[in-house]
Amino acid sequence: MSLGGDAIESNRKVVVRDLPPHLTENVFWEAVSPWVRLKADPATNEPRTASRTAFVQGKRSEQPSEVDTLSVAYINFSDFKYVLDFVQNFQGHISVSYTHLRAHETL
């Protein structure tokens, strides 16, 4: 039985959930830049590690009785070894907001 391209590619997709709604896209990509690179960096000889990325910004609720909508990031790595490296280094990462609220990201 042979695996199709979609099955092989699916093991390289990572969804980062439970990101704080106040976390901006730029701040998130800067935080993961050691592991997520859409382009190779010839100056440091770092390879391209991801083929596609997306970020969905969360929203803070306006009413105290409502629940915040959390931000989510999607990463399609170019090789499974980059998935492992990212998960080993980013799993359980703690974000601290300017009001000192702490949040644990979930992969």
pLDDT, residue 39, reads: 93
Contacts of 55 (CB under 8 A, 6+ apart): 25, 28, 29, 71, 72, 73, 74
**pLDDT below 70 — which residues of the chain?**
1-9, 93-107
pLDDT, residue 80, reads: 93
Q: Tokens in use for 102? A: 């702490």
How many angstroms separate the CA atoms of 72 and 54, rounded?
8
Question: What is the three-class DSSP state of 43?
Answer: coil
